[in-house]
């Protein structure tokens, strides 16, 4: 059996979701191939789109947010003569050659645009096998309303109404959760995790702002450093080397362990009592699977705003803002046991630690 996963390198979540599914399916004797759509068309185009996304979300966040909101207001299909539709049809023609040669038994899209192309190919009869789309944020992105595939995997059944508004019928929705790597599906004790990291066994806060180190991490640490409570901090700066150096050279009242890019975030989550982070779709899914209460801040306008709204409205996170800063949010959690317990209960209700297994098992049952 063969599975083709179509992705787009806009951020890192779409590829990571694809990789999590591939790891599981390959262990179950399914040959898998992941194809970055734009990179396949032209490697330079793929890098350009990825770089443009990172630039917009880091330096022109307001512009990106306004553009996202404008697209998000549409619930009806895009006009057949619109630039998006015309370009999509041209792209799908080239993509068809690859699909014909590979001859998959199932095609999965981890981005709404990938599923838009899959819809064009399915309508023409070029894709005859089952098709799946993965919604990788806690909101329904623009372009899903223009898709028509067999199944839609969503983060939670709480999004069903949004999906229905986009014209997607209930019987196609699979609220299994966003597929995540297997290491986030299990949990070890705090004592064991802290021992592995070589840190003290005390209240621990994980601070991370994505792999690119978005947001002013130093400012966040300065805020919580002033609190008159005892805790330690695991600070993951990602590729933000300037921020890492700044923190390492700072004077702190708390013990702060500083890291660059790491591959053991799962262990850090197990060692922590709460996390302070930006609300990326994949990070959010991972912390929910680990049953880790969250303080959310510095969202990228657009999908991350909506991720934050979803979690806060579901009782699974606290939102830090200019008027309710991160130190007040942390104080509230640390000094009110009922508040922390309420967060834990909501996180446990929404978390999907078995998301990858559930999605892939359904796919296996569909294609066997």
Mean pLDDT over 165-194 rounds to: 95
**Under CATH, domain 2-181+354-367 is a member of which superfamily?**
Glycogen Phosphorylase B; (3.40.50.2000)
- For residue range 77-119, what is the model confidence (pLDDT) as tens digits? 555 545 556 666 667 777 888 999 999 999 999 998 889 889 9
Mean of pLDDT values over 205-219: 76
The least confident of 149-158, 232-241, 260-269, 344-353 is 232-241
CA-based radius of gyration for the chain: 21
Whether the CA torsion 363, 116, 69, 38 is positive or negative: it is: positive
Q: Where are the domains of the chain?
A: 2-181+354-367, 187-350
pLDDT in tens, 253-279: 999 999 998 999 999 999 999 999 999
Write down the H helix ranges in the chain.
13-27, 37-41, 43-59, 61-72, 83-102, 112-123, 160-165, 190-197, 217-225, 241-248, 265-271, 281-289, 303-313, 326-335, 337-350, 355-367
Which superfamily does 187-350 belong to?
Answer: Glycogen Phosphorylase B; (3.40.50.2000)
Residue of 213 and 344 predicted with greater confidence: 344
**pLDDT for 224 beyond 80:** yes
What pLDDT, on a 0 to 100 scale, did the predictor assign at position 48?
A: 56
- What per-residue confidence (pLDDT) applies to 81? 46
| Band (232; pLDDT cuts 50, 70, 90) | very high
In DSSP notation, 263-310 reads S-HHHHHHH-SEEEE---HHHHHHHHHTT--EEE--PPTTHHHHHHHH
pLDDT for position 368: 82
Q: Which of 173-187, 213-227, 281-295 is predicted least confidently?
A: 213-227
pLDDT digits (tens, 9 = 90+) for 15-64: 899 999 999 999 999 999 999 887 887 665 545 555 555 555 555 566 65
Q: What is the pLDDT of residue 52?
A: 54
**pLDDT at residue 235 is higher than 90:** yes
Per-residue pLDDT, 238: 84
Q: What's the confidence (pLDDT) of residue 195?
A: 97
Burial (CB < 10 A; 0-12, 13-18, 19+), residue 42, is exposed
274-277 and 255-259 strand pairing: unpaired
- What does residue 39 show for φ and ψ, rounded to 5 degrees? -65, -35
Domains 2-181+354-367 and 187-350 share a fold: yes
Q: What is the pLDDT of residue 292?
A: 96
């Amino acid at each position: 059996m063969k599975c083709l996963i179509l992705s787009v390198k806009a951020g890192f979540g779409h590829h990571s979701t694809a990789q999590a599914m591939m790891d599981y399916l390959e262990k179950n004797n399914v040959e898998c191939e992941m194809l970055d759509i734009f990179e396949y068309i032209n490697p330079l185009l793929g890098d350009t789109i990825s770089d443009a996304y990172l630039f917009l979300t880091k330096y022109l966040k307001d512009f990106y947010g306004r553009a996202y909101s404008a697209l998000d207001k549409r619930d009806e299909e895009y006009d057949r003569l619109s630039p998006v539709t015309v370009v999509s049809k041209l792209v799908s023609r080239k993509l068809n050659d690859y699909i014909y040669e590979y001859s998959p038994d199932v095609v999965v899209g981890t981005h709404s645009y990938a599923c838009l192309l899959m819809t064009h190919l399915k309508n023409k009869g070029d894709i005859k096998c089952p098709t799946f789309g993965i919604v990788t944020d806690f909101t329904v992105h623009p372009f899903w309303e223009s898709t028509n595939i067999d199944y839609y995997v969503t983060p939670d059944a709480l999004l069903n109404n949004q999906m229905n508004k986009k014209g997607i019928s209930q019987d196609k929705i699979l609220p299994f959760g966003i597929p995540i790597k297997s290491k986030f599906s299990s949990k070890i004790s705090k004592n064991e995790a802290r021992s592995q990291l070589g840190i003290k066994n005390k209240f621990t806060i994980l601070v991370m702002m994505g792999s690119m180190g978005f947001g002013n991490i130093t400012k966040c640490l300065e805020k919580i450093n002033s609190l008159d409570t005892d805790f330690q901090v695991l600070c993951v700066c990602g590729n933000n080397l300037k921020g890492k150096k700044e923190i390492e050279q700072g004077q702190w009242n708390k013990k702060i362990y500083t890291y660059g890019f790491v591959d053991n975030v799962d262990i850090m989550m197990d060692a922590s009592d709460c996390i302070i982070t930006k609300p990326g779709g994949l990070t959010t899914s991972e912390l929910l699977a680990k049953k880790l209460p969250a303080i959310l801040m510095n969202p990228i306008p657009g999908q991350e705003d909506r991720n934050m709204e979803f979690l806060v409205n579901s009782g699974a996170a606290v939102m830090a803002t200019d008027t309710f800063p991160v130190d007040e949010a942390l104080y509230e959690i640390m000094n009110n046991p009922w508040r922390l317990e309420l967060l834990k209960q909501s996180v446990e209700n929404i978390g999907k630690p078995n998301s990858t297994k559930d999605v892939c098992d359904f796919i296996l049952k569909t294609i066997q």
